[in-house]
Amino acid sequence: MKISNIAITDVIKPDFIRLNVTAANRDDAIYEAGYLLYQNGIVEKGYIEAMVKSCNDLGPYIVLVPGVAIPHARPEDGAKGVGISIITLKEAITFGNEENDPVHTIIALASDNNKNHIGLLGSLSNFLMDQDKVSKMHDAKTTEEVMELLLGDN
């Protein structure tokens, strides 16, 4: 399988970002991030449920780096396109990953095929390796600040 070279910058838009979100628990936080994808026509509602179910069934493997969770589901679970949404939480939430909890940022990922899914994960992992950018994203006060971090060379 040839990996797609799709990047965060190809799919991120201000409408896919919400800051200072209140979430009661892990499932609620995943739902909030997934709902942005749904509102913007990237996924069907069932995709959000599949993201929550995946985390509940497989554990908090989606917390890949300290403070950041990347919920996703399989393309056939209702992905209609390719996109990511980002929410920052008003209060950090424990996801159950001792090494990387608590989570303050949720980046939901959706792709309508496996090649784009893997390509987008690769682009996202490059961004997440820069702990300074991740910290700045968490502290951002506006969606414009988040967009600058994702699109620029800050």
Smallest CA-to-CA distance from 2 within 101, 104, 114 is with 114
For strand 68-69 and strand 63-65, is the pairing parallel, antiparallel, or unpaired? antiparallel
CA atoms of 117 and 109, how far apart (whole Å): 8
Whether residue 67 contacts residue 94, with contact meaning beta carbons closer than 8 Å, is answered with: no
Q: 108-130 b/e with 16+ CB inside 10 Å = b? A: bbbbbeebbbbbbbebbeebbee
Helices 131-139 and 143-151 sit at what angle, rounded to 10 degrees? 160
Locate 60 and state its tokens.
């908090």
138 noted as active-site residue: no
Q: Which of 72, 104, 117, 138 is catalytic?
A: 72
Task: Give the residue numbers marked as catalytic.
Answer: 72
